Structures are given as structure tokens and as C-alpha cells.
């Protein structure tokens, strides 16, 4: 595992602190599939020697970010303070959440804002009336960009150079039987999204998710984030989302873009 998936070795500045990067990589190595890891597992996943992994884990444990049960390590609640620091310093609750609540109040279902981080889209704001047994679009969740409506909008907003860099590291996984994984087909989809100004997906990330997304543009017109609305496959289809929700989605997106002019720090924080 690359402890900083968005940074290649050749891009690292001269004063790059490897130990700090590895420590953050350790925190990122725990997830729903791996809530606990042994010392040797942490070392292997993050790319550390057992001795270095042990020192990092001892440090993180002493700071309260990691706990230990028998010979297995796990995250502690203090890790949540890192995410909450971003959430409140970026004023997500004040600026973004009201827009999402308006969408959910009008259409039901769910709405999210996401931004691109390496190969993934990270959900930075979310509102929902659902409690579905499917991939969770909670704040802080990250999913492959190619498999989400948000991600495809964000990829469509990249320069050709950055889009090529994305595909250089492209390692798609079929998350459902409908997930597109052929690079040529995905490139075609991204080009279509760029022309249309929106993206739709059906059962790409998980079964039961049909979504529509549009870009959120910064002061200079670049795509800095994406906004979506989603519902249950079978209860809505892409055509219905486009007809019923696209106009309102674009109005909300424009409202968020206008808000960014009043909170330029937010654009700097969430932008590419």
C-alpha cells in the first residue's frame, strides 16, 4: 500500500517526512474489511519493516489513535478528531449541508458532495433519508472514481494530462456484474459526461444505486467538486432522474459555486 496514494515518489519534496507518511498510511490501512491487523499485517500493507511498524504503532497507541487487543491493533475514537477538524474548518456543515438537505427535502433519497483524491472520490458531505443495505455514502467514505457518478464528473473535469495520469495507475475491479472496467469504455463515458455536463450510473458501485451527478465549479470555472442525487434502482431510472432532478441539481450546484466565492478557503480545501 502506498502511504500517500496521490503522491508518486518522484513528486515528493526534498523535506518529505517518510515516517509521518508511513504513520498516516498505518491509520489508512484499517477499514471495514480489516478493522484489526497484526503487526506483521500492518508492516506488509504499509511497506514497513516489522521494527519500524512496531515503533509507529507504539507511537500511535501512545497518542491515542490506535489501540491493541491481544496481538491485534485497531483504531481508537480519537482518529475521528482528524476528520472532524477538516469538517468544521472547511465549514461543511454551514456551507454545503443546507444545500444537500434542500435536495433531500424535495426529492427524498440521498445527496452527496465529493472530491477527487488519487484514484478515488471522497465523500465530504452527505444527506439521506435512507438506511439501505448498500455501499454507504457517509462523510469520509472513499470509492473508486470510475464506479460513481461523482467520480465520473470529477474525472471529466480533469485536464488531459491529469486524466492520463489517472489511467496510468488504473486498476479497475468489478464491484458488481454491471461495473464498467474496460478503460476504453470508461474513457468514452468520461468524454460523454464532459459533453453533457452530467453523469448517470446504475448499479456500478453497488446493486440498488442509481445516481445523477453534476460538477461544482470554482471561481475560475474549474471543477472542484461534484454534487449528486441518488435513489434505489427499480424505483428510479437515469431518464427519470434527468427529467425530474437535473434542473434542480444544476441550480443547487450553482448555489454552491456562488457560496465558494464567499468562502474561498473552502474552495482551496476541497479543490484539486
pTM, two decimal places: 0.81
User: Cell numbers 507518511 label which residue?
Assistant: 21
- Provide the domain count of the chain: 2
Residue 229 lies in a domain: yes
Task: Choose between 129 and 242: higher pLDDT.
Answer: 242
Residue 85 lies in a domain: no
Q: What is the pLDDT of residues 224-270, one digit of tens each?
A: 999 999 989 888 999 999 999 999 999 999 999 999 888 877 777 77
Instruction: Look at residue 62 and tell me whether its pLDDT is greater than 90.
Output: yes
Tell me, yes or no, whether 151 and 231 share the same domain: yes
Number of CB atoms found within 10 A of residue 260's CB: 23
Tell me, yes or no, whether 20 and 129 share the same domain: no
Confidence bin at 85 (pLDDT 50/70/90):
confident
Picking from 78, 112, 136, the residue at the C-terminal end of a domain is: 78
Contacts of 194 (CB under 8 A, 6+ apart): 156, 157
Contacts of 49 (CB under 8 A, 6+ apart): 43
User: Cell numbers 514497513 label which residue?
Assistant: 48
Sheet architecture: strand order including 209-217: 142-144, 120-128, 110-117, 223-232, 209-217, 199-202
pLDDT at 16: 86
Tell me, yes or no, whether 132 and 247 share the same domain: yes
Tell me, yes or no, whether 132 and 170 share the same domain: yes
> What CA–CA distance (Å, rounded) separates 81 from 255?
29
Tell me, yes or no, whether 111 and 145 share the same domain: yes
Picking from 50, 78, 106, the residue at the C-terminal end of a domain is: 78
Read off the pLDDT of each residue in 111-127 and give the average, rounded to a whole number: 93
Tell me, yes or no, whether 124 and 45 share the same domain: no
Name beta bridge partners: 142.
122
Residue 70 lies in a domain: yes
Its domain, for residue 60, covers 9-78
pLDDT at 136: 60
pLDDT at 263: 80
Task: Choose between 218 and 153: higher pLDDT.
Answer: 153
Tell me, yes or no, whether 20 and 99 share the same domain: no
CATH of the domain at 122: 3.30.450.40
Q: What is the pLDDT of residues 141-169, one digit of tens each?
A: 889 999 999 999 999 999 999 999 999 98
Instruction: Look at residue 38 and tell me whether its pLDDT is greater than 90.
Output: yes
CATH of the domain at 36: 1.10.10.10
pLDDT at 132: 52
Tell me, yes or no, whether 71 and 193 share the same domain: no
Amino acid at each position: 500500500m502506498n502511504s500517500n496514494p496521490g503522491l508518486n515518489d518522484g513528486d515528493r519534496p526534498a523535506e518529505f517526512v517518510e515516517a509521518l507518511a508511513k504513520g498516516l498510511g498505518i491509520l489508512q490501512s484499517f477499514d471495514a474489511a480489516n478493522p484489526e491487523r497484526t503487526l506483521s499485517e500492518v508492516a506488509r500493507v504499509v511497506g514497513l519493516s516489522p521494527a519500524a511498524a512496531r515503533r509507529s504503532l507504539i507511537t500511535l497507541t501512545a497518542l491515542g489513535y490506535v489501540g491493541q487487543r491481544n496481538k491485534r491493533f485497531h483504531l481508537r475514537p480519537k482518529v475521528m478528531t482528524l476528520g472532524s477538524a477538516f469538517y468544521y474548518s472547511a465549514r461543511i456543515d454551514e456551507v454545503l449541508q443546507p444545500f444537500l438537505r434542500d435536495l433531500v427535502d424535495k426529492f427524498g433519497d440521498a445527496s452527496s458532495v465529493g472530491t477527487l483524491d488519487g484514484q478515488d472520490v471522497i465523500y465530504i458531505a452527505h444527506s439521506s433519508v435512507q438506511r439501505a443495505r448498500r455501499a454507504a455514502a457517509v462523510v469520509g467514505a472513499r470509492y473508486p472514481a470510475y464506479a460513481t457518478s461523482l467520480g465520473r464528473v470529477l474525472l471529466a473535469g480533469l485536464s488531459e494530462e491529469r486524466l492520463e495520469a489517472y489511467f496510468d495507475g488504473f486498476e479497475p475491479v468489478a464491484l458488481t456484474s454491471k461495473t464498467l472496467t474496460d478503460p476504453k469504455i470508461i474513457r468514452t463515458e468520461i468524454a460523454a459526461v464532459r459533453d453533457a455536463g452530467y453523469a448517470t450510473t446504475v448499479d456500478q458501485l453497488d446493486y440498488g444505486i442509481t445516481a445523477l451527478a453534476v460538477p461544482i465549479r470554482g471561481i475560475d470555472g474549474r471543477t472542484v467538486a461534484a454534487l449528486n442525487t441518488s435513489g434505489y434502482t427499480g424505483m428510479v431510472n437515469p431518464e427519470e432522474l434527468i427529467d425530474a432532478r437535473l434542473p434542480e441539481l444544476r441550480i443547487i450546484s450553482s448555489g454552491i459555486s456562488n457560496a465558494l466565492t464567499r468562502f474561498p478557503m473552502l474552495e482551496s480545501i476541497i479543490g484539486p
